[in-house]
Structure 1
Amino acid sequence: MPRIEITSDTLTEALARLSEALSDTAPLMQDIGEYMVKSTNDNFASGSDPDGKPWAPRSQATLDAYAARKDKPGPRPLIGPTKSLSGTISYKAGADEVSWGSNMIYAAVQQFGAEAGEFGARMGVNKKGRRFFMPIPWGNIPARPFLGVGKDDDTAIVEIVTEYVESAVSDR
């Protein structure tokens, strides 16, 4: 039977390295942040939430609005011609936390959905010069979650943490 001998110096040094690595986990949080940005971008590419459930399709009213503007919708919901929302996903890592998301004003509405008129109304003017009020949003918007930690993400984050801890205690 093989025998492994751990001297107190070896164990003490490994525990010291682990303690130092755990006192400021900013590098770990950065790794997790980078992973979650990629995972979120994968959600846009697949048109699904973090657990792989497809987003609600565009409504006919939305498709009609694209046609009226002579604009071509992107291949999936939340993917328009400019890819504005998907192009703004970023993260911020601290010593012991990480957050990621978008700074686009409409990101929360896309994530959680909204009912027509939920945010009030704005005044518009029609072609005849008559004023009218248009609800904000003008129609119901179903939730299309693009942010979150799915089952695959859970597994990947555990692997990232495991690698971080193993690297900290090893003598590399």
Structure 2
Amino acid sequence: MIEINVTDDAVLQALQEAQQRSDNLEPAYKSIGEMLVVSTQQRFRDKKDPEGHPWAELSDVTIFRKGHARQLEGESRQLARQIVYEVDRKGVEVGSPLEYAAMMHFGGKKAEFSHLWGDIPARTFVGVSADDRDRIIEILQDLLAG
């Protein structure tokens, strides 16, 4: 799984308030995980990172070798379909169990990974957008409201 730590002050404050009022935040973490899975899958359709920046276009060599111009997607769309979340008492993790997910997310250089046919630019798909942040705060506020 790719780990993203949210350090937004408003989110952290809402989490602290929720922790003070509840012994079990797992239901809120589950709601946050479900929301982030949907949000992450939407990024595949939009072809944008969590900040809204477009992903790098595929190179001509990649398009030729793959036979299509779909970014991060083959015919099966497995990467977008395999976005999952895990909850425990400490929080929620969102990511993909697929072996190549980190390479697609962070990118890689042929010089470091000899099996690549060229450099792979990062196409960030996991993260928390401004809209996600607002939804996380809403989920936590709903928990606090009871």
Listed as ranges, the matches of 1:1-172 within 5 Å are 22-67=22-67, 73=68, 76-119=70-113, 135-167=114-146
Letter in 2 for 1:102: S
* RMSD over aligned Cα atoms: 1.7
Letter in 2 for 1:92: E
- Counterpart CA distance in 2 for 1:19 and 1:139 is 47
What is the aligned partner in structure 2 of residue 123 from structure 1? none
- Per-residue deviation, residues 20-63 of structure 1 (Å, max 9, x unmatched): 96211110100000000010001111011011111001110101
- Counterpart CA distance in 2 for 1:66 and 1:42 is 23
Does the Cα contact within 8 Å between 2:108 and 2:122 map onto a contact in 1? Answer: yes
Letter in 1 for 2:59: S
Does the Cα contact within 8 Å between 1:50 and 1:146 map onto a contact in 2? Answer: yes
- Counterpart CA distance in 2 for 1:53 and 1:19 is 34
Cα distance change on mapping 1:60 and 1:29 into 2, 3 Å: same
Letter in 2 for 1:101: G
Q: Which has the larger radius of gyration?
A: 1
Superposed displacement of residue 96, structure 1: 2.8
Q: Secondary structure at the match of 1:92?
A: strand
Percent identity over the alignment is 36
Gaps of 5+ in 2: 1-17
Q: How many residues align?
A: 129
What's the TM-score once normalised by structure 2's chain length?
A: 0.82
Letter in 2 for 1:87: R
- Counterpart CA distance in 2 for 1:113 and 1:146 is 11
- Counterpart CA distance in 1 for 2:19 and 2:107 is 43
- Counterpart CA distance in 1 for 2:140 and 2:99 is 32
- Counterpart CA distance in 2 for 1:147 and 1:53 is 13
Does the Cα contact within 8 Å between 2:19 and 2:25 map onto a contact in 1? Answer: no
Q: Secondary structure at the match of 2:93?
A: strand
Does the Cα contact within 8 Å between 1:90 and 1:100 map onto a contact in 2? Answer: yes
Letter in 1 for 2:61: A
